Structure 1
Amino acid sequence: MDEICLIIGGPQGSGLETSMSILGYAFARKGYWFIADREYFSNITGRHSYIHLCVSTLPVSSLRYPVDILAAADAETIFTHFDELSIGGVLIYDKGVLGKKLEDIPSIEDTTRERIAGKIKELGIQPTVSSIVNHLESSMSVKAVGVDYQVLLRGLAAKYTIDPKLLSRYVSGIIVAMISLVLGLRKEVSQDAVSRFFRGRPIIAEQNNALIDSIYEMYSELAGIVSLDTPTARPGKLMVVTGNDIVAIGKIVAGVRLQSYYPITPAADESFLLEKYQVIEADESVIGPIIVFQTEDEIAAVSSIIGASLTGARSSTSTSGPGFDLMVEGLSYAGMNEAPIVITYYQRGGPSTGQPTRGSQSDLLNAVFAGHGEFARVVLSSGDHVEAFYDTIDAFNIAEKYQVPVIHILDKFLANSLVTITPPDPGRAEIERGLLSSGGPNYKRFDSSKLISPRAFLGAKDTVMWYSGDEHNEYGHIEEDPVNRIKMYSKRIEKLELIRKELPLEKKITLQGHDNPDFILVGWGSTKGVSLDAIRALGKEGMRGAYVNLKLLWPFPGEEFRSILERFDKEKIIFVEHSYGVSLRHLVAMSTGLIIEKNIAKFTGRPLTREEVVAGVKKIIMGETLRMVAFHGA
């Protein structure tokens, strides 16, 4: 097989993210590509979480169902995901849960329990783990691998004198070992990945590697029962990163000097990584430091970066929907004062606190239009992890060159997905700080003789400047004269046309796929990967597809968008988005006059999968109208 997909499930806090990272390192070392999505509830521990992972001999950018391996840390995982396992797949489970009944699992939500009970009833089996395992073996030809977790854990505890209360932490080690074994990975590869993940904690690494030794010895007959093809060509160096990681790395390369944040899912991990690398060393010299500042709330977070930007420091904050709502007054203030700030906006399910740990793309219009009055802002989106690195750097360059706030809008799917990528090239990352001034006694911060006024920093010698939320004159003094209002208001807003004109096409919109397609998918953000993978899958069935990836969402590149889509039959165009209303089609209609009615939409909070997009395209071509694709994902 050139691709294998897995689900690893268990209670939140049981080490699933650790399993994902260790397997990622192991796959990367062997030259495989993979993508892994982490789905979890918003509580800290206990509720059901799972990792959906696909590993491939070729670059892979999307997930699919059914999966080939289901590895369960508990009974709830089996109840929740048993029907997502493919015919002939492998179930890895704890023998100790065979007697568990559906009614014994208190953490399952009532609606979910009823839905699972309905599936089980339709199959004519009992709502017990043992009955489900028997069904999978007899009706689905599944290889059910029962492992005695407690025997392994007691053996480990005896060898290392581990407190029995802490043994549940090592279930993730059993999962890693069993998956590595059934995929035929040499145990040294997995052990190296364990040592890499737990570097700095050698005892924990040793204990987990001892588990791998025991499992490879006890279950040796299972080695390689799922055959994953060997990569035909090694891709060279690979990075294993999440979206949060790669944005943080991009900020370091871009020269960020202040990152403020108030902890919120799924944005906080970006700041946590920056906290680890506040002092950057290169060639035996220190670059930095980066100040990472946890504020008392989001209002303080955006206010602090505005202040830092006025002193000349590259400054940013990261948040998601509820936090962004609180930042809007500060966003307007930055627009009024032409302050170059960057807000990294990770979308999650709303409205209100909504689904704090699930994904969405429903905040597009919020990013574009939030704030009172009219002012210039730029909204950039990234379609994948590599784009996110370069777009992060572009965000700072655009902010400072045009002296506008920039919103870099991403989503939970990209933020929390772990992938292998070819390392981006920092050498491509040019730093552009825009028009600067040393100031002086007669310095006009808002010189109206040009759209972009030379920028002096607070503290410049012999320089006084004023910043106010009120309308002001060229010096920054409050002034409400109508002639001055027209001059200053127009100066700020007309930057949008300059930005639209000067940004190169590849930073605004890209087109990939067939020159004469049967269908054209149009999207932004994380829909890029799943759309391109779906196009490749449909290509194997003789259907030609193309994908339009919108990167600059505001100011909207209407002229370029029309020039691309007017080459094709309008009836072939399909929008793809994680939202109910498909916000992009409204933005397109407003900016270009093009009315597109065909959509593939999903708003369950779980990622679009490859087969959902494939099925959606086929249904639309056959004349159906879609509001939501048939959902997968617990």
Structure 2
Amino acid sequence: MKEVGVLLGGPQGSGIETSMWILGRILVSKGFGVIADREYFSNITGRHSYILMLVSSVKLPRSLRYPVEILASMDAETVFTHFTELSEGGILIYDVNISSKRIEEIPSMEDATRERIARVLAEKGVKTSVESVVEYLERDRRVLPLGLDFSSLLKALSEQYRIDSRAVSKFLSGVIVSSVAVVLGLGEDIVAAGFRQQFREREELVEQNIMLYRLVRSALSKHYGVVRLEEPRLVMEKVMVVTGNDVVAIGKIVAGVRYQSYYPITPAADESFLLEKYDNILGENGEVIGSVVVMQTEDEIAAVNSAIGAALTGVRSSTTTSGPGFDLMIEGLTWAGMNEVPIVITYYQRGGPSTGQPTRGSQSDLFNAIFAGHGEFARVVLSSGDHLDAFYDTIEAFNIAEKYQVPVIHLLDKFLANTVTVITIPDVERVRIERGVLTRGGPGYKRFSLESLISPRAFIGGKDTVMWYTGDEHDEYGHIVEDPEVRARMYSKRIEKLSLILRDLPMDRKLRLHGPSSPDYLIIGWGSVKGVVLDAVEYFSEKGLKMSYLDLKLLWPFPSEDFLKITNGIPDSNILAVEHSYGVNIAELVAMNTGRRIVKRVSKYTGRPITLDELIHGLEEIVSGKKERVVLSRGA
């Protein structure tokens, strides 16, 4: 087969994420394309966590799908939660010691989830034990159950290396990695290389996990390579295996960021954690060329204000947050807008409102990013559709912020942040750093000069340079004024930068059309829906239906003229919008700015990613004329 879907599940804190990283690196090193999404509860240990992964021998995957060919479970909750997502003829890897476990006996499972699964079991005539589920899968779905005695495997490892019984449970992730590797026919050498990459400079852990692989391979000797992936045909030289958080952090280093503030919040904090790992930034010859000061502040108010302070000194500065934290930053955002401060806010959306779903994804904060704050002022909102986009867009965000002296919001989401994928190494040769018009200031310096839309920017602390900053309206020097003429000129000057930005930015940085320019159907969207929509477009194109995707990258100021030019000749009835929200707000933004009414919409707001199978089905419902709006809900 050309691709294999894999689902790994177990309790939060049991090493599921580690399993994902090791397997991902093993597969990529062998030449396969990999994408994996991490889904988890908002707790430290105990609640159900799982990885949905797609492995391809022919391409770098852009989206995920159900059903999966391999379900590897650490516990009974994984079996109950995901047994319906296992394909006919698939593989179930499970611990034989949980066979008698009943769904009623799982304390970590939410009552609503237990009741929903119990209904499904009753409809299928299956009793509420793991053993009954396994029998059903084997009998009715032709699934091959591979039961392993996890306790015996770990006991043998413990005896071999005299590992304390309280510490041996950390090797559960090794059992999962080894069992999936065995059924995929991955040999010891390449599996060992994956363990070495994960456990650098901890050779004892590598040796112990290799021993565990041998034990698992012996137990599953009859089923080695039972899932046959075609030999990889990808041409990959230098690639990176990264999350969205990782690639944005890397983009900030390349962009020249020297100050980053944050208050820990999911799913934004991992970006700052990566930046904190590096004391120095090295040049091509290994020389130290700078460092990033990363500050964990007491709250998001302090985070945005300290980023503003850093920007006033002349360094490229940013802060990172999610929805609840962004809400607290709004007064600082408006202050930056009033004072033309070039800061970047990296905004990772998650499920809301309020605390909502701290560890689940969403695109429902579109209007919050565009319109939050009192008064009118210029801000720019950028979105990224995939990991490689996120790298270049991060740099673009700082260029726009400094060139036009506006706050820029880089709008991402949990799906991109927590998805691991393979990307080609970004081409730093195409990176351009644009800092805008800078001046040394000096006597008589007018920080907010009205001579042009872009003010002459000097940094605080310059010799013989005096400047004033205030939250109130001000004159060219920064002094507080309420004169109506000055107010009108200053107010309009700040806002009219938006027209300048729209005029200056090239088309492909505002929106990008993927597919034919005169399609039968045009899908519009933004952000992380890009990959799954492109795969759906490819599917329908192979079926003979011309379909294109318009990826909206510049969300504010909205590129109305460019949008109308691209969509000219396509009737509203043939345009569809896809978004992770209830309202599919991008359609409302289009209507507000262009007058075009897009009523056909695909929506998902469960907090789980849109998968290819459900999107194809939803689009078929709309294209066939059965529905105008489809709500997706697949995924546990």
TM range (shorter): over 0.9
Q: Which residue of 2 aligns with 1:246?
A: 247
Give the corresponding residue for 2:227.
Answer: 226
Which amino acid counterpart does residue 112 of structure 2 have in structure 1?
Answer: T
Match of 1:624 among 610, 623, 626: 626
Match runs of 1:98-117 below 5 Å: 98-117=99-118
Distance 2:234 2:554 in 1: 35
Structure 2 distance, partners of 1:306, 1:327, is: 11
Preserved contact between residue 241 and residue 420 of structure 2 (Cα < 8 Å): yes
CA distance in 1, matches of 2:30, 2:599: 45
Deviations 1:375-406 (A, max 9, x none): 00000000000000000000000000000000
**Structure 2 counterpart SS, 1:165:** coil
Who is 1:4 aligned against? 4
Distance, in Å, in 2 between the alignment partners of 1:474 and 1:52 is 55
Does 1:270 find its partner at 2:271? yes
**Aligned counterparts of 2:92 and 2:541: Cα–Cα separation in 1:** 32
1:521–1:573 CA contact under 8 A, matched in 2: yes
Distance 1:202 1:550 in 2: 47
Distance 1:394 1:289 in 2: 20
Between stretches 316-325 and 277-286, larger displacement belongs to: 277-286
CA distance in 2, matches of 1:514, 1:137: 45
Look up the SS of the partner of 1:457 in the other structure: coil
State the alpha-carbon separation in 2 of the partners of residues 278 and 576 from structure 1: 42
Partners of 2:196 and 2:203 within 8 A in 1? yes
Q: In the aligned structure 1, how far is the partner of 2:624 from the partner of 2:36?
A: 32
2:19 match: 19
For the residue of structure 2 that corresponds to 1:437, the secondary structure is coil
Deviation of residue 624 (structure 1)? 3.1
C-alpha separation in 1, matches of 2:214 and 2:427: 38
Q: Quick one: distance in 2 between partners of 1:593 and 1:473? A: 37
Q: What amino acid maps onto 1:444 in structure 2? A: K
Question: Is residue 31–residue 236 contact of structure 1 (8 Å, CA) maintained in 2?
Answer: no
8 Å Cα contact 1:181/1:187 also seen in 2: no
Question: Hey, what does 1:447 align to over in structure 2?
Answer: 449
- Residue 381 (structure 1) aligned to one of 376, 380, 383: 383
**Where does residue 53 of structure 1 map in the other structure?**
53
Between the aligned partners of 1:546 and 1:69, the Cα distance in structure 2 is 32
The whole-number CA distance in structure 1 between the counterparts of 2:8 and 2:113 is: 19
**Inter-partner Cα distance in structure 2 for 1:607 and 1:411:** 11
- Quick one: distance in 2 between partners of 1:627 and 1:38? 28
Please list every run of 5 or more consecutive structure 2 residues that lacks an aligned counterpart in the other structure: none
Query: For 1:572 and 1:377, how far apart are their aligned partners in 2?
Result: 32
Letter in 2 for 1:175: I
SS of corresponding position for 2:426: coil
Determine the structure 1 residue equivalent to 2:545.
Answer: 543
List aligned pairs for 1:89-168, cutoff 5 A. Answer: 89-168=90-169
Cα distance, 1:426 vs structure 2: 1.5
Take 1:485 and 1:472, find their aligned partners in 2: how far apart are those partners?
8
CA distance in 1, matches of 2:230, 2:541: 22
What SS does structure 1 have at the residue aligned with 2:51?
A: strand
Structure-2 separation of matches of 1:625 and 1:556: 29
Match of 2:40 in 1: 40
| CA displacement at 1:627 relative to structure 2 | 4.5
Q: Helix, strand or coil: the match of 1:231? A: coil
Tell me which of 593, 596, 609 is aligned to 2:595.
593
TM-score, normalised relative to structure 1: 0.99
SS at match of 1:257: strand
Partners of 1:91 and 1:219 lie apart in 2 by 13
Shift, 1:538, TM fit: 2.1
Aligned partner of 2:487 in structure 1 is 485
SS of match in other structure, 1:164: coil
Percentage of pairs with the same residue: 60
Shift of 1:270: 0.2
> TM-score, normalised on structure 2?
0.98
> CA offsets per residue over residues 243-278 of structure 1, 9 Å max, x none?
000000000000000000000000000000000123
Contact 1:247 / 1:389 at 8 angstroms: preserved in 2?
A: yes
Code of the residue aligned with 1:493 in structure 2: it is: I
For 2:393 and 2:239, locate their aligned partners in 1 and report how far apart those are by CA, in whole Å: 20
Deviation at 1:284, TM superposition (A): 2.4
* 1:450-499 Cα shifts (integer Å, max 9, x gaps): 10012100111110100000000101111111111011111111000000
- Contact 1:580–1:628, Cα closer than 8 Å, also in 2: no
Separation (CA, whole Å) in 1 of partners of 2:261 and 2:527: 24
Contact 1:259/1:271 (8 A) holds in 2: yes
In structure 2, the residue matched to 1:325 is 327
Verify: 1:612 aligned to 2:614, yes or no: yes
The answer to whether the 8 Å contact 1:278/1:292 transfers is no
Return 506-515 or 526-535, whichever deviates more.
Answer: 506-515
State the alpha-carbon separation in 1 of the partners of residues 245 and 469 from structure 2: 33
2:343 maps to: 341
In structure 1, C-alpha distance between the alignment counterparts of 2:110 and 2:202, rounded to whole Å: 37
Contact 2:32 2:234 in 1 (8 A): no
- How far residue 513 of structure 1 moved from its aligned partner, in angstroms, is 1.4
In structure 2, C-alpha distance between the alignment counterparts of 1:302 and 1:562, rounded to whole Å: 36
Distance 2:208 2:634 in 1: 36
Instruction: Tell me if the contact between 1:242 and 1:416 (Cα under 8 Å) persists in the aligned partners.
Output: yes
**CA offset at residue 517 of structure 1?**
2.2
The more displaced of 115-124 and 512-521 is 512-521
TM-fit CA distance, 1:543? 2.1
Question: For residues 201-256 of structure 1, what are the alpha-carbon distances to aligned partners after superposition, in whole Å with 9 as ceiling and x for unaligned?
Answer: 22222222221122223322211101111122432222100000000000000000
Question: How many Å apart are 1:412 and its aligned residue?
Answer: 0.3
What do residues 19-71 of structure 1 show as CA deviations (whole Å, max 9, x unaligned)? 11111111111111111000000011100010000011212111101111000
Moved more, 468-477 or 223-232: 223-232
In 1, distance between residues paired with 2:516 and 2:446? 52
* CA separation of 1:160 and 1:520: change in aligned 2, threshold 3 A: same
Instruction: Summarize deviations over 1:164-191 as a string: whole Å, max 9, x none.
Output: 1122211111100111111111221111
Distance 2:300 2:242 in 1: 26
Distance 2:625 2:445 in 1: 63
Amino acid in structure 1 at the alignment position of 2:271:
E
Report the residue type matching 2:402 in the other structure: E
Partner Cα distance (1:584, 1:632) in 2 = 22
Residue 467 in 1 paired to residue 464 in 2?
no
Structure 2 distance, partners of 1:50, 1:112, is 15
CA contact 2:263–2:303 (8 Å) conserved in 1: yes
Letter in 2 for 1:6: V
Q: What is the aligned partner in structure 1 of residue 315 from structure 2?
A: 313
Worse-superposed segment, 192-201 or 322-331: 192-201
